[in-house]
Every structure is written in C-alpha cells, then in structure tokens.
Amino acid sequence: MNKNELISAVAEKSQVNRKDSEAAISALFAVITESLSQGDRVQFTGFGTFDVKKRPEREAQNPRTKEKVIVPETVVPVFKPGKQLRDAVAGK
C-alpha cells in the first residue's frame, strides 16, 4: 500500500472526503517526523512505537578496493510493532 492508497482507504473507512483524509495523514506524518527529529519517541498503544536509534561509528571495507573506511555515527528511525498489531498480522 502506498500513500495514495492509504489516503483513499482512510477516506472510505472514516466517511470523509479524500482531501480531508489527505490533510490528516500528511499532518500525522509531519508530526511523527518532527518528533523523531527532536529525539522523541512516538507511541501508539496497541499499534507500535516509533523511536530513534544511534548507530555508532564503525569500520567497514570497500568490496572493490578492499580499502578500509570509517562509517560515521548516524541516527536512524526504528519501528517496534505492538502486541495487538503483531497478533493481527499473525492471524491470532
């Protein structure tokens, strides 16, 4: 499912027009993105948790030249599904 399909599905389920549905979903994505960029956790009980994780600096190897390179520390977003979501996907 892509963003357009999500907007259409939400509009249909919530019985609002597509324009309002698109505005709500875009606002939700913006709020989640802003919170994560500030280092905050976003938790939806039963659905899951969006969080940020630091990956430490590490040494890697260029596969072509076999030269060792330093990969700098980075921060990446992560998602941990909640129990209800895991159970729903598993068919329980």
Whether residue 73 is found in the same domain as residue 92: yes
Q: Where do we find the tokens 């309002």? A: 20
Does this model's pTM top 0.85?
no
- Percent of the chain at pLDDT > 70 equals 100
Average pLDDT rounded to a whole number, residues 5-25: 95
Whether residue 12 is found in the same domain as residue 56: no
Whether residue 63 is found in the same domain as residue 19: no
The helix (H) or strand (E) run that includes residue 78 is: strand 74-81
User: Is the distance from CB of 80 to CB of 53 less than 8 angstroms?
Assistant: no
Average pLDDT rounded to a whole number, residues 4-25: 95
Q: For the domain that residue 48 is a member of, what is the CATH number?
A: 4.10.520.10
Whether residue 48 is found in the same domain as residue 15: no
Whether residue 49 is found in the same domain as residue 80: yes
Tens digits of residue pLDDT in 41-79: 999 999 999 999 999 999 999 999 999 999 999 999 999
Q: What DSSP string runs through 41-69?
A: -EEETTTEEEEEEEEPPEEEE-TTT--EE
Mean pLDDT of the chain: 95
Domain of residue 26: give its range.
Answer: 1-40
Q: What pLDDT does 92 receive?
A: 75
What is the domain count for the chain? Answer: 2
